[in-house]
Amino acid sequence: MGSRSNNGSGRTKVGRYELGRTLGEGTFAKVKFARNVETGDNVAIKILDKEKVMKHKMIGQIKREISTMKLIRHPNVIRMYEVMASKSKIYIVLEFVTGGELFDKIASKGRLKEDEARKYFQQLINAVDYCHSRGVFHRDLKPENLLLDANGVLKVSDFGLSALPQQVREDGLLHTTCGTPNYVAPEVINNKGYDGAKADLWSCGVILFVLMAGYLPFEESNLVALYKKIHKAEFTCPPWFSSNAKKLIKRILDPNPQTRITITEVIENEWFKKGYCPPVFEQADVSLDDVNAIFDESANSSNLVVERREVRPSAPLTMNAFELISTSQGLNLSSLFEKQMGMVKRETRFTSRCPANEIVSKIEEAAVPLGFNVRKNNYKIKLQGEKSGRKGHLNVATEIYEVAPSLYMVELRKAGGDTLEFHKFYKNLSTGLKDIVWQLGDEAGEEVKDGIVST
């Protein structure tokens, strides 16, 4: 697996892919930007920890999910290209899209016009309906899972992979409460079992409301009060919604799953059908050989890939132009202290002209008084909250990248815990970091357009 001594800045290769920055992480997986060195194509690689997967007895389920996902070819669902495994990890190679999250549009515009919101909602329903027809339920539809490609086409990510620990019981229902509370159907919170298709549609209804309103239908800082509102479907449509849109949203956000409108009925709805283009997609031959090979217990080690890390002197990882674009909004410094309406992002970044060592020291100095343990590995820092919060301990992963000579980008990403608590922590941390953040106009003759530095 390569030497572990002082080589944190080296590039890691897995098979024919060179791994880059971390795009996101959760309990079971980490997603990294990567490049196919043979073709030059950019991809995203989801990395699962085999030990955790086996500990939670998820092998069978993951194999089913991956096999089904590999067979799904739909213009509005992120494509899965291939699957690889090393002795300790499973690598799922996915389509990488550069248009950012759909909800970045709302953060900048406030809300979408009804026709534009309907266009995205149609694409979302197309994706959800197609996957349901193949027995795959998302179970965690939320803003960060809705991405846009370079042409502005909606792509649902993490279909069938977002809520892996879930199981369908003998009663044919799912039983694990998960998802972002504001988007979760009342029957999921009830924990008495629920129909994955009906629960997904409820989340789609919340998403449609947010697209058109610019805020959430159910929002309370107190979780018990929030759940009460969701159970009663206590919400009011703003006056600018058309009467047909209001009627449809009320039928989707019906707290009784038995009487809730179905996806088939949504597609036939008068408001939905306006300007509707049914999806056109290919049915190509797809091989499951790679999936079967990595899960074959008797397989010999020739099917396994090896993580190889280049050894370089200790220095922050240099970020190339493609990776910089992959940060979605580039070096948007305006997001340093801003809160996005009710939808706090799970990562944030700032730039600094201070030496990398000084940045590391300053982060440590600012985090310790806030009650965080600090673990450093070259220019990567793990911060763990000592106190347990709403969703366990808050974990923050920090990484420093060199984006130009003497210009560093610092990315802080929630690796565990509650997103709102992450936002609160970042606000407090940023007070202690003010003197290392590179402010606009720090240097004469430089200006920032759309957050990108230009001289």
Tens of pLDDT, residue by residue over 439-451, are 544 443 333 333 3
Query: Does residue 410 register a pLDDT over 60?
Result: yes
d(Cα 306, Cα 12) in Å, to the nearest integer? 10
Architecture of domain 102-273: Orthogonal Bundle (1.10)
Residue 408, pLDDT above cutoff 80: yes
Domain boundaries in the chain? 12-97+291-296+305-309, 102-273, 317-454
Which is more confident, 300 or 455? 300
CATH superfamily assigned to domain 317-454: Kinase associated domain 1, KA1 (3.30.310.80)
Most confident of 3-7, 70-74, 116-120, 285-289: 116-120
- In this prediction, residues 294-314 reach a mean pLDDT of 62
pLDDT tens for each residue of 45-89: 988 888 877 776 777 777 777 877 777 888 999 888 888 888 888
Catalytic residue among 104, 115, 129, 140: 140
Mean pLDDT of the chain: 77
Taking the model in full, what pTM does it have?
0.66
Asked if the model's pLDDT at residue 299 lies above 70, the reply is no
pLDDT tens, position by position, 242-293: 999 999 999 999 999 999 999 999 999 999 999 998 888 766 667 777 777 7
Give residue 317's pLDDT.
67
Give the span between the Cα atoms of 408 and 402, in whole angstroms. 4
Residue ranges in 75-221 assigned as alpha helix (H): 102-109, 114-133, 186-190, 196-213
The answer to the question of whether 46 is labelled as a binding residue is yes
**Residue 140 known to be catalytic:** yes
Q: Using CA atoms, how far apart are residues 380 and 399, in angstroms rounded to an integer?
A: 5
Q: What is the pLDDT of residues 412-432, one digit of tens each?
A: 888 777 777 887 888 888 888
- The rounded distance, in Å, linking the Cα atoms of 174 and 185 is 13
Please name the fold of domain 12-97+291-296+305-309: Phosphorylase Kinase; domain 1 (3.30.200)
Long-range CB pairs of 385-388 (<8 Å, 24+ gap) are 385/417, 385/421, 385/425
The gap between the terminal CA atoms of the chain, to the nearest Å, is: 43
* DSSP code per residue over 306-354: -EEE----S-PEEP-HHHHHTTSS-S-GGGGS---TT---SEEEEEE-S
**Res 350: pLDDT:** 81
Quickly tell me which residue has 């026709």 as its tokens: 115
Q: Mean of the pLDDT values across residues 91-106? A: 84
Residue 16 pLDDT > 60: yes
